[in-house]
Structure 1
Amino acid sequence: MEHPEYADVVEAALKRLDLDAKTRLLAGQDLWSLPALPEIGLGSLVMSDGPVGVRGASWDPGDPSLVLPSPTALAATWDPELARRAGQVLAQEARRKGVHVLLAPTVNLHRSPRGGRHFESYSEDPLLTARIGANHVAGVQDGGIGATVKHFVANDAETDRFTVDNRVGARTLRELYLAPFEQIIAEANPWVVMSAYNSVNGSTMTENRDLQIGVLRQEWGYDGVVVSDWLAARDTVRAITGGLDVAMPGPVTVFGPALAGAVRDGRVAESVVDDAVRHVLLLAARVGLLAGAGPVVPEDRRPAPLDGEAVAREIAARSIVLLRNADRILPLDPAAVTRVALIGRAARDARILGGGSATVFPTRVVSPLAALQTALPAAAMKLTYAMGPDPDGELDVAREGFALRTVLRDADGRTLADEPSPFGRARWLSSDLPGGADFDALDSVEIAGTFTPRESGRHHFGINGSGPFRLVVDNRELTQETEPAADDDIVAAVLGNRFTAAGSVELEAGRTVQVSLRSQSPKGHHGPLSGVAFALGHRAPERADDDLIAEAVAAAAEADVAVVVVATTERVESEGFDRASLRLPGRQDDLVAAVAAANPRTVVVVNAGAPVEMPWREDVAAILLSWFPGQEGGAALADVLLGVEEPGGRLPTTWPVELADAPVSEVTPTDGVLPYDEGPFIGYRAWQRAGTEPAFPFGYGLGYTDWDYEGVDIIGGTARVRVRNTGDRPGREVVQVYAGPVGDPAGSPDRPRRQLAGFATVTAGPGELIEVSVTVPDRTFQIWDESADAWVTVPGSYRIEAGHSIADLPISAQLEVGLDQ
């Protein structure tokens, strides 16, 4: 136990609980919390989704949150210290919202570029994932908030995620998928681990005794709580004996009364329940909710308050990856550039985060258009804007131009609650209705208010949810009934953004009209969850794509530089499904090609959380990858475009030319089984073996200055790398160290040609030489020996290489490992 002084307090509290209280403590009392037990001085422990913000205990857009850049963006900084500060900011947010445990970070790997939640994980490499993840956990727990590493384990895709059985060999499991969890637990001791939906080698993870008890607890010595992913626990006896401590959400779970019954009829020993309760009580003590035990981090030991918006902007800027910069067009030079054409829907309507449970609601969003409108006058540049074609073309939740309220009524028409709604969605659990409204008394819910269009023309409306509904726009009734297709993924059904078209109305720009969507039967039931979930959808009038592209081309032709922002959409990257393609949605590729043909000085900004195909990549002057950049992303982009900040990011995963080139891409199980037949060869390990050139390799990224690698020495377990800034401005470099066997002696195990062994970030002024020490861990030279069921060192000669990326390693040294000297 990390804090042995808690042991007596935990044991004393445990002894005062009867069986029913103990089993109740292991089951959620609602969607986000565990019950209070006043008889032992235990407060109610509250959890909240992350990882880019802290939503809090309710899905309420009226309670906004700071929104940081996506995990892929954080990993692209290759900066563990910055990851720690990100965690500290989220701990501040959690305390502000009364949250004790943050359900983040996600440390699953980028096995396939098709993974739907790719943006929510860090990297294809377990070492980079572990370094960023451990510091993120440390930062959250610096603030006295529990961090949750998830999803344990091999939860690397969304297709059939509740039922898929991922068949993973022991060596592959150890060297890739378990490795980040192992290192994070050793370095940061997260207070919570979340068990995944999927099965591994025949056992669903919430019941997987070999991994949850054999590996996690007995081998790694983990002392924290194991909580189920939401609705993942399926069987009372198998879950509790398989190492699960808490089944979420409540109030109906496989634990609670069901677990008490299993103990009473002899199917579960009470001592097993006691072990789980000890873990929960220890967590409560750590966060300061158990009488007699002060929190691990008292208030006077927490980090000094941080400016969350400043940290969000810093991460966004530092994460931006410069993929191409022909003729050093970037940063933009005010002396040479007086007219800039900004193009793209995502430049105006920024996509700041991925879809699904990671969604939080920001206080503000700084779009690229708004940021450049603010920044450019000081640089004496004229800015024009053209929208280009819509990348989505589908209905989205009503936001821009709508002023709405949500009204809940009983069967007699009496108002139970009446609250403003920032956008057209009603989504609550039965226990969390607005204004404390009684779910049993609820008869109807109305989203009503006004809409002031930005554009004249035919506006399209729709509904997300099951009817009957009554939708009225400008005194015209559009529909009374809708029954969208059922979604087998309960979580995706509740979080989803799929709309059924209801009709269209001709409206005039600037003329305000009345809008009302009334659900006549609002109560929904999804498995054990009951609540309200529906939304009003809207899509503005659209001109023909060809006309919009022609308008963008005209703007680009008159400018010195064209900046095109392209993006994925929530129907491309989100929880609940995997990607069918890596192509940009809509006609964005056509837009880029046409603009580049009109203006060779075209800069493309890719606003995506995961790899996309870029068929125009060699036809444009520059490419910046901004990821999902969080609420301050536009300001960070402006900083980078204008040279206020350097694009400091490096790719945390390999980007293919096209999906067909990816060595590992399959995410769809056959007869419920998805074999990881590629073994320990994913990401750059697989690319090396395939011998195919990607569009951009792992670790790649350019900057605004140049670096020379002058030498590397190996002293003990440390690589000392000398690197010089040979450019004319200060800069930042990510020094990457890789290791690989020299030759392939007979009988040696199949290993990657080279793998990441360590890294460090350095900053230097023009001409400055920096020597940086990078620790090369012993695990670099080990494999998991399945016959010995242990890590073993593979003796031999190893080449230690250092450089800019896995494909650009100009210096090396040789190291003998396990050989007689």
Structure 2
Amino acid sequence: MKYNTIINQMTLAEKVSLMSGKDFWQSENIDRLGIPSMFLADGPHGIRKQAAAADHLGLNPSIPATCFPTAATVANSWDVNLINKMGQYLGIEAANQKVNVLLGPGINMKRNPLAGRNFEYFSEDPYLAGKLAASLIQGIQSKGIAASVKHFAVNNQEERRMAIDTIVDERTLREIYLTAFEIAIKEGKAKTVMSAYNKLNGTYANENPHLLNTILRNEWDYDGVVVTDWGGNNDRVAALKVGNELEMPTTNGETDQDIYQAIKSGELKEEVLDEAVDRLLELIMSTTSALKESNASVDEKKHHQLAQKIAEESIVLLKNEENILPLNNDVNVAVIGDFAREPRYQGAGSSVVNPTILENTLDSLAQSGIKSIGFEPGFNRYGKKSNRKIAKACALAEKAEVVLLYLGLDEVTEAEGLDRESIKIPQNQIDLLNEIYQVNQNIVVILSSGAVVEMPWIDKVKGLLHGQLSGQAGAKAILRILTGEVNPSGKLAESYPIRYEDTPSYHQFPGKEVSVEYREGLFIGYRYYDTANVAVRFPFGYGLSYTTFEYSDLEVDRAGATFTITNTGNLPGMEAAQLYVGCQSRAIFRPKKELKGFVKVSLQPGESKTVTIPFDDKTFRYFNVKTNQWEIEEADYEIMIGSSSVDIQLSGVLFVEGTGAPLPYDQTDIPSYYSGQVSNVGLEEFETLLGRKVPDAKWDRTKPLGYNDTIAQCQYAKGLFARFAYQLIKFSHWFLRKIGKRSTANLIMMSVYHMPFRGLARMTGGIMNMPMVDGVLMIVNGQFYKGLKHVLRERKQMIKAAKVNN
């Protein structure tokens, strides 16, 4: 161990104290040994260091920082170099604010378009997400700051996220849900990993030996620190045994005592604690040293300009009928839509950034050269249809040659802690579009959202520019693309289905009670749509340009694929070329094609470049559940070069020698997986794939409620008071939504409704402890007076103990 000398000087109590937070955002310090506190801050797309009251939901403002585009947006750039630069700037700002650990990036897969945190994740594809995350991490950590890749692992829904049991087969787990983490950790060298809230196949992620020991520590040789998500600790001793070093936030020493007593009783070896302390000290000392040596100063203008460039490369042109874009300088334009006045530029929850500068469309129009004849909001951002606003918008649209219509999702629709209710944009916005179409059919929609939306209205627009959530400089970036000052080069990092019902996890999302079953297996996103021949609105990897590109001269060998791209249009442009691989054997089921490489190329008109996309250790592998390791199937593989997952420009065939592993499946037992038709797999077939029975997905309503049951389960509690409290919570949520207080209503669902009872102690910073939670559970389970007495007695004892210790 590196820090033996310091560890040998520490008392057991001191070593234990380092295992949990000092407060909401800081780790514990030991002054007599020169061990300082670390500051951990949210920041996947900008630093969120709170100056005053701390919270994990984005309620209180933070110190101003550059708000870069969100992960869902920057993924559309397909540009690892640009994302590395963004990481460097994040590292500079973190160092400037004396932040040791930046809690990002988030790289969970976009299994379902309704998942409430999709705006904070890169892609439905693990290879793309992993490569982008690795580049971002390298950039952040080049400044001495530690990145924290999250949420490890299989955290793909927000509803009941602190209690849900994710049921997934081993091959799907490895190939889809862990590959991005593997790339981010091995190539990005992430110094910290944040464990997820949820269970994985029956065991909480932060105490899961298969996840944290077998895979993370042993197979990936990870020697960094694992930190819990905030309030994500269940059994502190079990978590420490498998290498979950740091629990956040503070529990006022309560879980420290759990570790202390476990060592005293022999349940936990002190050597395990020492190793955890050593890893944590390495993180503390290395980042603190970097912060001391850093003289990082933030050039706000320069950082803002990078945010704009990233937005420009990430915005996707989805439709350009009759070449309505770019706009001519002499065209009279009507600007309509509330998002033009107040941009929707980031998500909600723990990643909310207080921007240093915030541009909006209306203030930037004159500078852009667009001839605007006026602006109308057209719809209520958080409300019902307004005929008056629609009429005024239509009157303006009627006078214009082109309508720029700003539509999208509002801030409370996409938020941490909540999944979306549908993938439609609000009906009042669609009503506005329909009415404008009656008076002016030259409509260009500028869409703002962090996740997939349905577009049944698309035939009524000639242009569609998807800004996603483009950060503090997004408004100007969009205008520069509309005018042609910038040629769009963004390509979708996720598929856009025609209807939500077309998605493979439609029948299995979200898990509502005990568990959620990943019956679709490997087939998420384009892996499903392309294999099952399901039409989509826009495919993975799709995006238009104002110029055209030609692919030619493909050469394939065991090292990789080489080909030529030519800009055959009249404008400079960038093209994200994509390498897909499809195994031509049918002995083992696989998606029709999988992304295994990509490159973004910048070309002048008429210019050609020859590029090579190399193969790597992930190009031909699959996880064999019989040998319990990665194998290669001996077969011919189709090597495809495309401008999207469905627009394959070049292809060749390469024979690859295999590893000779036995076949892992009997095709007759799991026919749905061999056909790719997995949208409604039966229980028996899923259990065959899984190799075991699945747990009962329903709550056992006969048992008393316990620590890991949620407040929502008070609906069937034995205690009358608990059932009344549940109805009060439900009514409060309904009433707040009714009167337009949707953010407050969301907060009830995020911080109360789906909270496990243990969260009353884990998330309150020591205001409550677990003995007090025991009293609450007595009340919930029908012993009101006994439970109330217990709560009051334990509260009194806790206050008395705190006075003695102080």
TM-score range, shorter chain: 0.7 to 0.9
Letter in 2 for 1:285: M
2:479 is paired with a residue whose SS is helix
**Equivalent residue in structure 2 for 1:799, among 619, 638, 649:** 638
CA positional deviation for 1:296 = 10
Q: Is 1:628 matched up with 2:618?
A: no
Letter in 2 for 1:346: F
Contact 1:392–1:586 (Cα < 8 Å) also in 2: no
Deviations 1:80-114 (A, max 9, x none): 11111111111111112111100000010000001
Partner of 2:569: 727
Contact 2:300–2:356 (Cα < 8 Å) also in 1: no
Partner of 1:364: 357
Partner of 2:752: none
Partner of 2:342: 349
Contact 2:631–2:658 (Cα < 8 Å) also in 1: no
Letter in 2 for 1:319: S
Partner of 2:306: 311
Matches within 5 A, 1:553-702: 553-665=394-506, 666-669=508-511, 671-702=513-544
Report the Cα distance in structure 1 between the residues aligned to 2:228 and 2:317, rounded to whole angstroms: 39
1:800 is paired with a residue whose SS is strand
Contact 1:391–1:567 (Cα < 8 Å) also in 2: no
1:695 is paired with a residue whose SS is strand
Report the Cα distance in structure 1 between the residues aligned to 2:118 and 2:549, rounded to whole angstroms: 31
Matches within 5 A, 1:294-443: 295=290, 299=294, 307-335=302-330, 337=331, 339-376=332-369, 381-393=371-383
Report the Cα distance in structure 2 between the residues aligned to 1:62 and 1:244, rounded to whole angstroms: 28
Q: Is 1:276 matched up with 2:281?
A: no
Contact 1:159–1:667 (Cα < 8 Å) also in 2: no
Letter in 1 for 2:201: N
Report the Cα distance in structure 1 between the residues aligned to 2:599 and 2:293, rounded to whole angstroms: 32
**Alpha carbons of 1:296 and 1:36: their partners in 2 closer, same or farther (altered >3 Å)?**
closer
Letter in 2 for 1:683: G
Partner of 2:85: 85
Partner of 2:212: 212
Partner of 1:243: 243
Report the Cα distance in structure 2 between the residues aligned to 1:57 and 1:169, rounded to whole angstroms: 40
**Equivalent residue in structure 2 for 1:775, among 590, 595, 614:** 614
Consecutive unaligned residues in structure 1, runs of 5 or more:
1-6, 290-294, 395-543
CA positional deviation for 1:364 = 2.7
Letter in 2 for 1:619: K
Contact 2:93–2:296 (Cα < 8 Å) also in 1: no
CA positional deviation for 1:177 = 0.6
Report the Cα distance in structure 2 between the residues aligned to 1:62 and 1:273, rounded to whole angstroms: 34
Range that drifts further, 300-309 or 230-239: 300-309
Q: Is 1:221 matched up with 2:214?
A: no
Report the Cα distance in structure 2 between the residues aligned to 1:352 and 1:774, rounded to whole angstroms: 33
**Alpha carbons of 1:548 and 1:171: their partners in 2 closer, same or farther (altered >3 Å)?**
same
Contact 1:143–1:303 (Cα < 8 Å) also in 2: no
Matches within 5 A, 1:457-496: none
1:669 is paired with a residue whose SS is coil
Report the Cα distance in structure 2 between the residues aligned to 1:96 and 1:303, rounded to whole angstroms: 7
Partner of 1:397: none
Partner of 2:48: 55
Report the Cα distance in structure 2 between the residues aligned to 1:62 and 1:700, rounded to whole angstroms: 36
**Alpha carbons of 1:153 and 1:621: their partners in 2 closer, same or farther (altered >3 Å)?**
same
1:631 is paired with a residue whose SS is coil
Report the Cα distance in structure 2 between the residues aligned to 1:254 and 1:247, rounded to whole angstroms: 11
Report the Cα distance in structure 1 between the residues aligned to 2:191 and 2:376, rounded to whole angstroms: 49
Contact 1:784–1:791 (Cα < 8 Å) also in 2: yes
CA positional deviation for 1:252 = 2.9
CA positional deviation for 1:194 = 0.3
Contact 1:735–1:804 (Cα < 8 Å) also in 2: yes
**Alpha carbons of 1:214 and 1:135: their partners in 2 closer, same or farther (altered >3 Å)?**
same
**Alpha carbons of 1:774 and 1:680: their partners in 2 closer, same or farther (altered >3 Å)?**
same
Q: Is 1:261 matched up with 2:254?
A: no
Report the Cα distance in structure 2 between the residues aligned to 1:319 and 1:597, rounded to whole angstroms: 32
CA positional deviation for 1:301 = 11
Report the Cα distance in structure 2 between the residues aligned to 1:303 and 1:313, rounded to whole angstroms: 16
Letter in 1 for 2:540: F
Partner of 2:286: 286
Deviations 1:517-574 (A, max 9, x none): xxxxxxxxxxxxxxxxxxxxxxxxxxx6122112111211111110001121122111
**Alpha carbons of 1:736 and 1:198: their partners in 2 closer, same or farther (altered >3 Å)?**
same
Report the Cα distance in structure 2 between the residues aligned to 1:283 and 1:274, rounded to whole angstroms: 14
More helix by share: 2
Q: Is 1:716 matched up with 2:558?
A: yes
1:282 is paired with a residue whose SS is helix
2:252 is paired with a residue whose SS is coil
Partner of 1:789: 628
Letter in 1 for 2:527: R
Letter in 2 for 1:109: M
CA positional deviation for 1:304 = 11
Contact 1:100–1:145 (Cα < 8 Å) also in 2: yes
CA positional deviation for 1:672 = 0.6
Letter in 2 for 1:247: E
Deviations 1:339-366 (A, max 9, x none): 1101101110111111111112113311
Contact 1:142–1:302 (Cα < 8 Å) also in 2: no
CA positional deviation for 1:311 = 0.9
CA positional deviation for 1:754 = 0.6
Letter in 1 for 2:75: A
CA positional deviation for 1:593 = 2.2
Partner of 2:197: 197
In the superposition, the TM-score normalised over structure 2's length comes to: 0.78
Contact 1:46–1:57 (Cα < 8 Å) also in 2: no
CA positional deviation for 1:783 = 0.8
CA positional deviation for 1:628 = 0.8
Deviations 1:722-754 (A, max 9, x none): 111110111110011111023x44xx1100101
Partner of 2:64: 64
1:149 is paired with a residue whose SS is strand
Deviations 1:787-814 (A, max 9, x none): 1000000111111111210110121111
Report the Cα distance in structure 1 between the residues aligned to 2:523 and 2:492, rounded to whole angstroms: 18
Deviations 1:107-159 (A, max 9, x none): 10000001000000000000000010000100100111100000000001101
**Alpha carbons of 1:13 and 1:61: their partners in 2 closer, same or farther (altered >3 Å)?**
same
Letter in 1 for 2:655: E
Contact 2:98–2:291 (Cα < 8 Å) also in 1: no
Report the Cα distance in structure 1 between the residues aligned to 2:387 and 2:297, rounded to whole angstroms: 56
**Alpha carbons of 1:306 and 1:191: their partners in 2 closer, same or farther (altered >3 Å)?**
farther
CA positional deviation for 1:57 = 4.3
CA positional deviation for 1:670 = 5.1
1:233 is paired with a residue whose SS is coil
Report the Cα distance in structure 2 between the residues aligned to 1:310 and 1:603, rounded to whole angstroms: 26
More strand by share: 1
Q: Is 1:28 matched up with 2:21?
A: yes
Report the Cα distance in structure 1 between the residues aligned to 2:346 and 2:426, rounded to whole angstroms: 17
Contact 2:633–2:658 (Cα < 8 Å) also in 1: no
Matches within 5 A, 1:503-542: none
Number of residue pairs the alignment of both structures matches: 651
Report the Cα distance in structure 1 between the residues aligned to 2:504 and 2:439, rounded to whole angstroms: 36
Contact 1:144–1:298 (Cα < 8 Å) also in 2: no
Partner of 2:148: 148
Higher relative contact order (CA 8 A, sep 6+): 1
CA positional deviation for 1:324 = 0.2
1:214 is paired with a residue whose SS is helix
Q: Indicate the RMSD between aligned Cα atoms, in angstroms.
A: 2.0
**Alpha carbons of 1:344 and 1:306: their partners in 2 closer, same or farther (altered >3 Å)?**
closer
Partner of 2:754: none
Letter in 1 for 2:152: F
Contact 1:572–1:579 (Cα < 8 Å) also in 2: yes
Report the Cα distance in structure 2 between the residues aligned to 1:171 and 1:297, rounded to whole angstroms: 45
Report the Cα distance in structure 1 between the residues aligned to 2:350 and 2:294, rounded to whole angstroms: 30
